[in-house]
Chain A
Amino acid sequence: MKKLAILLVVALVAAAPFVVGGYETNVLMNALLYVILATGLNLVAGYCGQFSFAQGAFYGIGAYTTAILSRDLGTGFWFNFPVGIAVAGLFGLLLGIPALRLKGHFLAIVTIAFQTIVYLTLSQWTSFTGGQTGLPVPSIGPVSLFGTTLFEITSLRSYFWFTLVIAVILLFAVWRLLQSRIGREWIAIRDDETLASAVGLDTTRGKLTAFVGSAALAGAAGVITAHAMRGVTPDDFTIWISATVVAMMIVGGKGTFIGPIIGAVLLTSMPEFLGGFAEYKMFLFGVLLVITVTLLPEGLIGRVRRLRERFS
């Protein structure tokens, strides 16, 4: 039943570009990318309990890895995609090391500092990253297997479907990961770190894997974004992106699988419903964020679950 529902939702999303126009498809694709980012953040913040404000930085690291690789080595998407994920994961490991010693606000601030350093490096190191103007990135282009071209990823629709496929694969992988031993270790660390290490869990490994996993997902989203947008600029990877991803996770409900997905879709599409008030969309985004956090501290999913408990 549940599997059927998921298949139905995926099929509906996949059919969307036939119904709606190019602009809406673009919004949907953005939503998919944010689903990947928010789900990644949820691994480290929702399940492992380590707050991070650096998702935008890993997103940028993934995007710039592919941009710089295709500029300097001329390699294509299929080579850059795993490399981008690996590089972002490596930086995730780097950020995870201070996280072993710090908690709460201090950890939050280290991740903020990391995010800012990455942004400033992207915008200031002009000879390597192109500075404020950014770098152009080629399209993914034709996808061929054994010499025959299967299809081409150049149009907006094809990028949308491609992103959808990647997102579904990544979400499935995350789902399996959360069911596995490592996922349960993360939850144990979040709920009581002392207890987790007392029963023999390797909390160091647990935290580091959560950071790496979270960063790797953001890196994947970054590589796709760079190719889909045909370019990267530092302003796409500011702390405000990180904060938006955090907001998506919180609004949806952190520590639940579906919460960040719903949060990402809601917050990406919300400004589009404002119609005539489009001018005010960022303003209303801020106001809505304040209201949601104040009224729904456990997120939408948390509230729904509590209501369900009350009525059953």
Chain B
Amino acid sequence: MDLFLQYLANGVVIGSSYVLVAVGLTLIFGILGVVNFAHGEFYMLGAYAGVTAVTLFGMPLPLALAVVLVFSALLGFGAEAILHKPMKNRDATSSIISSFGLAVALQNAALLTLGPQPRLLKTEFSTIPIELGPVFMPLQRALIPVAMMVLIGALYLILRYTWTGRSLRSMSQHATVARLCGVRVERVAVVTFMVGAALAGVAGFLMSSVFMVHPIIGNMIVLKAFTVVILGGMGNILGAAVAGLLLGITESMTSAYLANGLRDIIGFVIVIAVLLFRPQGLFGKAFERS
């Protein structure tokens, strides 16, 4: 039982990073219809930005976090100009291909400039252990779910109660009607990309103390984020948050009780099953629109 709780806690930590990446991905997909394969690169570059800020410039963690937020948001700004602005009125395949191209370019740019050697973030929080009953982990790791909840909570409030948030939601419901009602579509697109990239970048930074940072970490995380997006229902933020945590926990349990090799496969198997039997996602509602 004690071990079970430890696995559960590990799953929640990993799941939190999936939530942060997947929520951005589902926002970009739900609002703009862009299937963004380059989303994992926001995660990767956010991790590098954070590690550099802490180890090279000796910034304290909160300041480094702010740097990562701004840096990733700028990345999102640039990505929107490449992936969305010139691609309006095109089918989703175009954005799939061009975001794949962007992902390849960013990965190799990182490989050329930063080198292939992996890095790990170590801060003053890495060595402080905390114990919650039988569960044990470094403080820095325990901060990941906390940071996730704060960010997703803030995002939820913004979407619910601010004008920007309302225009984002109206875009996801019906882009044409939103435009007719005076929503500034271009601005919404930029904001969506910036928010999505910032969340992914922060996730990368937070996880840089758990997993090694190297130029191709974005590959697997973006695929997993896609599975989370499907499980939660395309464009459904709350669904993505729940599904992300569930995936993290499922993976942790699978590697603990079944086999470590199955850890990365399980999510994709679930996604195929879900799409076959419940294509609207675990939490989505089925609806038809002309």
Chain A: minimal CB distance from B226 (Å): 6
**Are B272 and A110 neighbours in the complex by a CB distance under 8 Å?**
yes
Q: What are 25 A-to-B residue pairs whose CB atoms are below 8 Å?
A: A105-B234, A106-B230, A116-B223, A117-B265, A120-B264, A120-B268, A124-B262, A239-B219, A240-B104, A240-B219, A243-B97, A247-B97, A280-B108, A280-B112, A282-B108, A286-B104, A289-B97, A289-B98, A290-B98, A293-B97, A294-B86, A294-B87, A294-B98, A297-B90, A297-B94
**Are B106 and A286 neighbours in the complex by a CB distance under 8 Å?**
yes
Chain A: minimal CB distance from B48 (Å): 16
Residue B100 CB within 8 A of the other chain: yes
Contact of B269 among A117, A239, A289, A290 (CB under 8 A): A117
Stretch at the interface among A7-15, A79-87, A96-104: A96-104
**Are B268 and A286 neighbours in the complex by a CB distance under 8 Å?**
no
What are the residues of chain B within 8 A of A283 when measuring CB–CB? Answer: 104-105, 108-109, 112
List A residues at the B interface (Cβ < 8 Å): 51, 98, 101-102, 104-106, 108-110, 112-114, 116-117, 120-121, 124-126, 239-240, 243, 246-247, 250, 279-280, 282-283, 285-290, 293-294, 297
List B residues at the A interface (Cβ < 8 Å): 29, 35, 37, 82, 86-87, 90, 92-94, 96-98, 100-109, 112, 219, 223, 226-227, 230, 234, 261-262, 264-265, 268-269, 271-272, 275-276, 279
**Are B97 and A106 neighbours in the complex by a CB distance under 8 Å?**
no
A290 to B268, CA, bound (A): 28
Chain A: minimal CB distance from B285 (Å): 15
Contact of B276 among A51, A98, A282 (CB under 8 A): A98
Chain A: minimal CB distance from B106 (Å): 7
With contacts A109-B271, A110-B272 known, what are 8 further pairs, Cβ within 8 A? A108-B35, A109-B227, A113-B271, A120-B265, A124-B265, A282-B108, A283-B105, A286-B102
**Are A121 and B276 neighbours in the complex by a CB distance under 8 Å?**
no
What are the residues of chain B within 8 A of A108 when measuring CB–CB? Answer: 35, 92, 96
A56 to B206, CA, bound (A): 33
**Are B227 and A113 neighbours in the complex by a CB distance under 8 Å?**
yes
**Are B102 and A101 neighbours in the complex by a CB distance under 8 Å?**
no
**Are A114 and B272 neighbours in the complex by a CB distance under 8 Å?**
yes
Query: Taking CB as reference atom, which chain A residue is nearest B102?
Result: A290
Query: Taking CB as reference atom, which chain A residue is nearest B29?
Result: A105
A110 to B227, CA, bound (A): 9
With A121-B265, A280-B112 already in contact, the answer to whether A288 and B272 are too (CB < 8 A) is no
A290 to B226, CA, bound (A): 21
With A108-B92, A246-B97, A289-B101 already in contact, the answer to whether A113 and B82 are too (CB < 8 A) is no
Query: Taking CB as reference atom, which chain B residue is nearest A98?
Result: B276
Chain B: minimal CB distance from A251 (Å): 8
Query: Taking CB as reference atom, which chain B residue is nearest A283?
Result: B108
With A250-B97, A287-B101, A294-B98 already in contact, the answer to whether A105 and B35 are too (CB < 8 A) is yes
**Are B268 and A106 neighbours in the complex by a CB distance under 8 Å?**
no
What are the residues of chain A within 8 A of B104 when measuring CB–CB? Answer: 240, 282-283, 285-286, 289
A126 to B261, CA, bound (A): 9
With A101-B279, A286-B101, A287-B105 already in contact, the answer to whether A117 and B112 are too (CB < 8 A) is no
Contact of A98 among B105, B108, B109, B275 (CB under 8 A): B275
With A286-B105, A286-B106, A297-B90 already in contact, the answer to whether A109 and B226 are too (CB < 8 A) is yes
Chain A: minimal CB distance from B27 (Å): 15
A244 to B271, CA, bound (A): 24
Contact of B98 among A114, A120, A280, A293 (CB under 8 A): A293
Chain B: minimal CB distance from A91 (Å): 13
Max chain A Cβ within 10 angstroms of own Cβ: one of B108, B264, B276: B108
What are the residues of chain A within 8 A of B262 when measuring CB–CB? Answer: 124
With A106-B279, A112-B223, A279-B112 already in contact, the answer to whether A286 and B264 are too (CB < 8 A) is no
Chain B: minimal CB distance from A18 (Å): 34
What are the residues of chain B within 8 A of A289 when measuring CB–CB? Answer: 97-98, 100-101, 104-105
**Are B92 and A104 neighbours in the complex by a CB distance under 8 Å?**
yes
**Are B108 and A113 neighbours in the complex by a CB distance under 8 Å?**
no
A114 to B227, CA, bound (A): 12
A106 to B284, CA, bound (A): 14
A250 to B107, CA, bound (A): 22
What are the residues of chain B within 8 A of A120 when measuring CB–CB? Answer: 264-265, 268
Chain A: minimal CB distance from B41 (Å): 10
What are the residues of chain A within 8 A of B82 when measuring CB–CB? Answer: 290, 294
Chain A: minimal CB distance from B187 (Å): 21
A126 to B260, CA, bound (A): 12
Chain A: minimal CB distance from B14 (Å): 17
Chain B: minimal CB distance from A113 (Å): 4
What are the residues of chain A within 8 A of B92 when measuring CB–CB? Answer: 104-105, 108
A288 to B35, CA, bound (A): 19
